[in-house]
Structure 1
Amino acid sequence: MSANESISDDLLARYVAGTTTPDEQAQVKAWLAQSTDHAQELARFERVWEASTQVGPPAMEVDVEAAWSKVNKRIAAKNEQVEPKVLPLRKSSFAAWRVAASVLVVLGLGWLGYRWMTPIEKAEIAVVKTQKNTLEQTLPDGTKVFLNENSTLTAAADFNEETRTVTLKGEAYFDVKRDETRPFIINANGTEVRVLGTSFNVKAYDNHVRVAVTSGKVQFSTPKQKVVLVKDEAAATSEADTIIKLPALNFNEMAYRTRVFVFEKTNLSDVVASLREGYHADIRLGSRRLENCLLTARFEKESLDTTLSVIAETLNLRVVRRGNSILLDGSGCE
């Protein structure tokens, strides 16, 4: 029995790449339990997947559409040639970080739920913290928060009373439940973000705080200045507690949550920076002559290997792995 008769190649690809949801993982495991042939099929698919990420010699002229086609053809060709063999699964480093942090996350969520569901003293607070992982959390008021890695969200002891106040260190995307009687307030490294109900991203790993709004209206303030941001607007703090509105909203900054990257004649140095933050991977360029190569492409919930393979095919580059680092190298695009 082949995998295609009962499970999609897309789901198997994301399972091998380590980007499946818990429900999808359960679906694959149930499929594996149906027959020993399925384990062999999955092992063969993993060999095909790994083989497909090995980029060959540069072509003379390749665009993004041709690069996608070439990567897909390699997967199909290898699928017909590789003999079935049971191999251990090797998931991406992004998934490995999530597994490594699972115990911490489970314990943290259990404690957080207990603190928010039972009476607490005014002096006490509730904390959600991430390390080498991301985490989505629903607050008691119905607000959804998606924390990036190395971030901490602290809720005030009187949360859900007159105001809904939290403190953020790191980065998080907020989808705030609207409540006109209780404003939602985020304190982040000397700044304040105040809303009634909207969606936005706050990046506050240091004193350079950035706010990007995807819906509704946000009030962003420092001790010296206050600005109002609406949908598709962004701003950041600068010297002397001032706020500067940015020329355009960069949705790639939120790819750690969406796993969607959109590049429009973007310098390769900026592409690599976006991928590094979005995939939490150490990606570098082999030389400075590659920095100004331009890329126009869209990647939506693709694995890191697939994304890098398409970029390499498009710009005639090689993907070189050195330990935990990934290098994009080649002769350049001049």
Structure 2
Amino acid sequence: MNSNVPIPDDLLARYVSGETTPDETRQVKAWLDQSAGQEEELLRFQKIWETANVVKPPAEFHVDAAWKKVSKQIATQPTAVDKPSPVPPLTVHRNKDGVRPLNTAGKPSTFIFWRAAASIVMVLGLGWLGYRFFERTNEPAIAKVLETQEKTIEQTLPDGTTVFLNHNTTLSYAEDFGRDTRTVILKGEAYFDVKRDENRPFIIQANGTEVRVLGTSFNVRAYDKKVNVAVTSGKVQFSTPKAKTLLLKDETATAQADTIIKLPAVDLNAMAYRTRVFVFDRTNLGDVVASLREGYQTDIQLTGRLKNCQLTARFERESLDAALSVIAETLNLQVTRKGKTILLDGQGCP
């Protein structure tokens, strides 16, 4: 090999970092055998690398920091117009790849240092960019998030679907929602009025279940592992990893532990958080209180002796106080407030 032919800088960088292939290692060794000057250049290259200490895992690597460290080493070296200081003898110990001992003294070359620094930053920089590219391709898409706490909200999604979120609910979807797919993630409870699209099913992922529709109206309750779906129009495919069912208008089902159970009928009172309409027909007072508790998001308690009482009534957009006054008057009950808790008490019913 002609000693005047330079070796690629990126190959030297890989060599001093121990990342060369066997063929590349042989190529470097052959280059080193050309003259002592080649070993001197490799030694200076390696000193910059080790002193700068820029070899770090990808998560810790920062190009600017690496460049500053290398530049600091270069700044300490004499330039062409500086008077060089005496350089002490340098010794290269034989390593596993067979670099022979060298005892020499000489003037450091500014060009060599700059070329070495550029090669180091180039190789590490490319590795960092590759790492960041791989990392970004595995990142989830940026999501839009709708969230409620004490209040309910109604929102229109980019595809025209209307969604009404109950208290303490989160609905998220991708930035490009509606472009190719219509998928949302639900934690809590929401009522959907889905805009029909034959080519893009609307998909709801909720606590390990999936609801898939083309265009319909339905309610999904998924505050915990138990997920309930109630359909008010159209049809819905409700599935878990091990079960699947088709729900039609006025049908409802509950999924838990991969099992789906169809229920007798839709309980419209369960959607009163949106409609503010409660309909009770000879309904046990315990069920009445449960519906009001969910609809108004208020802690309402009932004494045990009232469990046999039944109520027939309809409340349409009434305030909670108005509804409780009607119940108390009808069944001869007392309404007591203790902090945020409301207690219903009375003599009981036959």
TM-score range for the pair, normalised by the shorter chain length: 0.5 to 0.7
Give the C-alpha shift of residue 267 in structure 1: 0.7
CA distance in 2, matches of 1:157, 1:193: 20
Question: Match for residue 270 of structure 1?
Answer: 287
- Which one of the candidate residues 285, 298, 315 is aligned to 1:281? 298
Matched, 1:132 2:150: yes
The 8 Å contact of residues 265 and 294 in structure 1, kept in 2 or not, is answered as yes
The 8 Å contact of residues 122 and 157 in structure 1, kept in 2 or not, is answered as no
SS of residue in 2 equivalent to 1:149: coil
Question: Match for residue 317 of structure 2?
Answer: 301
Using the size of structure 1 for normalisation, the TM-score is 0.62
Percent identity, aligned pairs only, is 73
Give the C-alpha shift of residue 325 in structure 1: 1.2
The count of residues paired between Structure 1 and Structure 2 equals 212
Question: Match for residue 189 of structure 1?
Answer: 207
SS of residue in 1 equivalent to 2:241: coil
CA distance in 2, matches of 1:242, 1:259: 31
CA distance in 1, matches of 2:183, 2:197: 13
Give the C-alpha shift of residue 262 in structure 1: 0.5
Question: Match for residue 104 of structure 1?
Answer: none
CA distance in 1, matches of 2:296, 2:227: 21
Matched, 1:257 2:252: no
Matched, 1:144 2:162: yes
Q: 2:301 corresponds to which letter in structure 1?
A: R
The 8 Å contact of residues 186 and 194 in structure 1, kept in 2 or not, is answered as yes
Give the C-alpha shift of residue 220 in structure 1: 0.3
Give the C-alpha shift of residue 266 in structure 1: 0.7
Q: 1:304 corresponds to which letter in structure 2?
A: L
SS of residue in 2 equivalent to 1:131: coil
Question: Match for residue 6 of structure 2?
Answer: none
Matched, 1:246 2:231: no
Q: Deviations over 1:111-130 (max 9, x none)?
A: xxxxxxxxxx9721111111
Question: Match for residue 177 of structure 1?
Answer: 195
Change (3 A) 1:231 1:284: same
CA distance in 2, matches of 1:310, 1:288: 20
Give the C-alpha shift of residue 162 in structure 1: 2.1
Matched, 1:327 2:343: yes
Give the C-alpha shift of residue 307 in structure 1: 0.4
Matched, 1:220 2:225: no
Give the C-alpha shift of residue 177 in structure 1: 0.5
Using the size of structure 2 for normalisation, the TM-score is 0.59
SS of residue in 1 equivalent to 2:345: strand
Give the C-alpha shift of residue 275 in structure 1: 0.2
> How much is the aligned-residue C-alpha RMSD, in angstroms?
1.2
Structure ranking higher on relative contact order (CA contacts 8 Å, 6+ apart)? 1
Structure 2 unaligned residues grouped into runs of 5+: 1-138
Question: Match for residue 87 of structure 1?
Answer: none
Structure 1 segments (4+ residues) deviating >3 Å? none
CA distance in 1, matches of 2:348, 2:226: 34
